[in-house]
Amino acid sequence: MTAKIIDGKTIALELREAIAAEVAAMKAKGFPAPGLATVLVGENPASQVYVRMKQKACEKAGIESYGYVLPETATQEEVETLVKELNDDPKVNGILVQLPLPKGLDEERVLNTISLEKDVDGFHPVNIGRLAQKGRESLFVPCTPEGVIYLLDSVGAELEGANAVVLGRSNIVGMPVALLLVKRNATVTICHSRTKNLPEVCSQADILIAAVGRPAMVKRDWVKKGAVVIDVGVNRVDDSTRERGYRLVGDVAFDEVKEVASAITPVPGGVGPMTIAMLLRNTVRAANLANNAS
Ligand code: GUN
């Protein structure tokens, strides 16, 4: 068996075109352009790249982006004051505080400061809490996990009753994606650094989500024949044949696992582009909520 390669880049592009059309229609009706504020604290190079990509994607979709950069030395109060100003700014529909924050800043307190209606990342403790509760809906769902579910749906993966294994329990991906899978009635196992017999546990999975940040960790014999494999990992590995000196690889040994999986996402070009598409979608939703409330 050779797996279907799930083309997240194309799927995300189609979504982004639909979002751009929706934004154009909103503007044609006289509503203001939706606005996304990005807050970048410090100089983490990967975060700088991600924020730039998010801003560019906004521009292309007709969404205004307002970029705020604070120094590495910014205090908790300075970050929270900025977030509060953005909460009060009617041009801003969504607030994205890029994570991780520099050491010494209390991430939870910052996220708790974001207005629920502007929490387009879905990381506010109340939104995450609602995700974990039966019969409750969060206002916004975190972008990468939502993108993972979108890709699973795009290949018609049966989630109800499926054995889903999530590798990784991060706040940004592992835990929320596990909660979303539970909401879709999958039977979910969350694996982490203390999990025993990891290859054995993974090999039971109908749906395998890898989000641990370990290059090519998931091998062919970890994967059940016909499983759907979603690789969230983005790892830099040295590669002197590349001009920039490295290449990106996922958490899954793609070339060998594609021989047993029924469908698999590549890295790059799988989950990554979906995160941005979902962020744009959440921002437009936030704008619609604000417009309907005014
Ligand atoms: N860092 C890594 N992924 C994300 C994300 O989706 N949102 C934010 N705010 N920070 C991140």
pLDDT averaged per 10 residues, the chain (length 294) = 95 98 98 98 96 98 98 98 98 98 98 98 97 96 98 98 98 98 98 98 98 98 98 96 96 98 98 98 98 84
- The answer to whether the CB of 138 is under 6 A from ligand 1 is no
**Intrachain domains 30-116 and 143-272 with the same fold:** yes
Q: At 39, phi and psi to the nearest 5?
A: -120, 115
Of 44, 49, 98, which is best to mutate to test ligand 1, by the most ligand atoms within 8 angstroms of its C-beta? 98
- The answer to whether the CB of 275 is under 6 A from ligand 1 is yes
Query: Which pLDDT score is estimated for 177?
Result: 98
State in Å: Cα 172 to ligand 1 middle.
7
- The answer to whether the CB of 97 is under 6 A from ligand 1 is yes
Query: Which pLDDT score is estimated for 159?
Result: 98
State in Å: Cα 36 to ligand 1 middle.
14
Residues with active-site annotation: 54, 98, 121
- The answer to whether the CB of 146 is under 6 A from ligand 1 is no
Q: 175 vs 35, 124, 210, 261, CA distance in Å?
A: 28, 14, 12, 23
| CA nearest ligand 1 atom 11, residue | 99
> Which residues pair with residue 228 across a beta bridge?
207, 263
Query: Which pLDDT score is estimated for 15?
Result: 98
- The answer to whether the CB of 99 is under 6 A from ligand 1 is yes
Query: Which pLDDT score is estimated for 143?
Result: 98
Q: Are strands 228-231 and 207-210 parallel, antiparallel or unpaired?
A: parallel
3-state secondary structure of 107: helix
State in Å: Cα 225 to ligand 1 middle.
32
Tell whether domain 143-272 is in CATH 3.40.50.720: yes
Sorted by where each begins, the domain ranges of the chain are 30-116, 143-272
Q: Are strands 163-167 and 207-210 parallel, antiparallel or unpaired?
A: parallel
H or E element, residue 276: helix 272-293
pTM of this structure: 0.97
Query: Which pLDDT score is estimated for 274?
Result: 98
- The answer to whether the CB of 144 is under 6 A from ligand 1 is yes
State in Å: Cα 66 to ligand 1 middle.
17
Query: Which pLDDT score is estimated for 293?
Result: 81
30-116 has which CATH code?
Answer: 3.40.50.10860
Interatomic CA distance for residues 87 and 85, integer angstroms: 5
